Amino acid sequence: MRKMLFLAGLVLVAAAAWAQAFTSTPLKVGETAPAFELQGSDGKTYSLKQFAGQEAVVLAWFPKAQTKGCTIECKSLGEQAEALRKYKVALFAISVDKPEDNKTFAENLKLPYPILSDPSRETAKAYGVLKGAPVSARNTIYIGKDGKVLLVDDSIKTETAAADMLKHFEQLGIEKK
């Protein structure tokens, strides 16, 4: 009986450690967005600071490359790329997948924007998109030219991701080019 209780305790401790490792606190509107420097599917490295003062940054977090919902969401953004480009926005899809996985995913979908890779999950944790799983939640984070969080959208509809993003651009007053 003691051994069973001990093993049950170990399982509980392990489960709690797992959940803590893959859980983070969501960002709040008005906070300064955490700095990042991540590799894109196009082979370039991108950082938040390179867009400071110039244009807004949108990070469309998705759980896993090559999955149905993520494919639908990324294709939606790709199909509306022309409309999205009318705004002063640096748009990135982003996941915790390895760079080579996101590169293949972006090439297969012929995406006109890069997918950033965060395999260490450090940026995902800083951005509050880890919800107790080893993949990110489907969240889109809008960051102003001043580096402040404008919106954290956690109710993404994959089929209308681009149309919803365009509505948010208007609501947030993001400048057109």
* 70 assigned to active site: yes
Active-site residue among 70, 77, 149, 174?
A: 70
Name the nearest CA neighbour of 118 among 132, 104, 106, 130: 130
Positions annotated as catalytic residues are: 70
